[in-house]
A and B are shown apart, each in its own frame.
Chain A
């Protein structure tokens, strides 16, 4: 049976409030494990405050051509939340004024937003230093109308960040669906063909690795070596950097942890691997996340848990960077996912 989103299935966990309740009860309520707030307080990090804003991450909608088993967005073809051109205009106004050096477009599959290309064209005119689009790769092959995306990305000097859970077919398809691996490989070859990640090329192509199960990622550098060797030898594919990202215990990954009876062990593993140095550079300290309907969050995960920024300014229409930088970051137990081991962020390890 094809996987559907939690929302479509009307699963209890489709409610962010239920997820947050789950993450605050059980092993945490019974004092087996410390609340994240208490853990960071041990090293004087509570309340968590932002540093300089560097990354503006905009979620163009939750619609996606894939239904990945671990998706923290609960994205899929059945999700209809899509950013309108009106909200995009508000974003463009912010992009033209922001002090952030990186613009990061995500989703769902951001390319499925009907105004995606228009938005990229307009946003690229602003001349922000690093312009990222997070692409799931298979979208490029999903329909004829997307086949020219590599050329389009190249034209606008877009920095492509793509997920590829593993360099072998079995694990990739198990997490992301049958056939995803072969399509991803083809899409990576198409990106290489137009010049991405080639020597002397300015076009950057990074890959995202996230574990296909209830375990944490290992050292990013050694994983990158393995990926580079295997993809080059088997498929003549090149890429720039590998970002190792920890799966956070929310949404469909939380559902999987509970259903497979791995939840407690996973939370223990996250807490045991807690690294105060990772707290120092956790991504919510340099990022603002904007949802498809213009609300502001400390990160994409908080967005999915509907934990809006703790600031007078809560919507893109009233955006004020100075006021936002003065906020306290909203946290819960899912935050342990970003502080385990070498830390985890949309840019990979942080410590």
Chain B
């Protein structure tokens, strides 16, 4: 066992989750593959969305995977960074919008 919770080499083993539950594993990977196909959104656009979400959910495997995927698709580093900011802006906005709740509660409790 590795002494770290995250090992970059584990990403390669992702497919092995199917070994302990073939049906669910297979369903997941079929779904996953289908999601990232060309559709109403291009595969390129979906790759950038995935990169942004990877940061928001702070998944190191996903960040590695979608940085590489972006490079393969010819996505520039400027585009990648803007996608990360889009994710970060939503995440910080989600925190800040709770400030309204704080204000509401403050007002309610104050005379």
Contacts and interface: CB of A to CB of B under 8 A. Distances in A.
| A and B interact physically | yes
How many B residues touch the partner, as a band? under 10
Nearest to A217: B72
B76 A168 contact: yes
B73 A218 contact: yes
A195 interface: no
A226 B43 CA distance: 14
B15 to A, nearest CB: 9
A287 B8 CA distance: 39
Contacts of B74: 166, 218, 223, 226
Interface stretch (A75-83, A102-110, A124-132, A208-216): A208-216
Contacts, number: 21
Nearest to B44: A222
A37 to B, nearest CB: 22
A168 B74 CA distance: 10
B12 A268 contact: yes
How many A residues touch the partner, as a band? 10 to 19
Contacts of A265: 8, 12
A175 B10 CA distance: 30
B68 interface: yes
Among B8, B12, B71, B74, the one with the most A-chain Cβ atoms within 10 Å of its Cβ is B74
B72 A216 contact: yes
A215 B69 CA distance: 8
Interface string B57-101: 000000000001001111010000000000000000000000000
Contacts of B72: 211, 215-218
Contacts of A272: 12
Contacts of B71: 211, 213, 215
Contacts of A268: 12
A226 B79 CA distance: 15
A168 B68 CA distance: 18
Contact of B68 (A215, A217, A222, A226): A215
Nearest to A213: B71
A136 B88 CA distance: 42
Contacts of A168: 76
A215 B74 CA distance: 11
Contacts of B76: 168
Nearest to A227: B74
A217 B72 CA distance: 5
B38 to A, nearest CB: 9
A77 to B, nearest CB: 30
Among A215, A218, A222, A223, the one with the most B-chain Cβ atoms within 10 Å of its Cβ is A218
A223 B76 CA distance: 13
B37 to A, nearest CB: 12
Nearest to A226: B74
Interface string B1-20: 00000001000100000000
Nearest to B64: A265
Nearest to B70: A215
Contacts of B73: 218, 222
A40 to B, nearest CB: 21
Nearest to B71: A215
20 contacts: A166-B74, A168-B76, A211-B71, A211-B72, A215-B68, A215-B71, A215-B72, A216-B72, A217-B72, A218-B72, A218-B73, A218-B74, A222-B44, A222-B73, A223-B74, A226-B74, A265-B8, A265-B12, A268-B12, A272-B12
Given A217-B72, A218-B72, A222-B44, 18 more contacts: A166-B74, A168-B76, A211-B71, A211-B72, A213-B71, A215-B68, A215-B71, A215-B72, A216-B72, A218-B73, A218-B74, A222-B73, A223-B74, A226-B74, A265-B8, A265-B12, A268-B12, A272-B12
Interface of B: 8, 12, 44, 68, 71-74, 76
Can you list the 6 inter-chain pairs with the closest CB atoms, starting with the nearest?
Answer: A218-B72, A215-B71, A218-B73, A215-B72, A215-B68, A268-B12
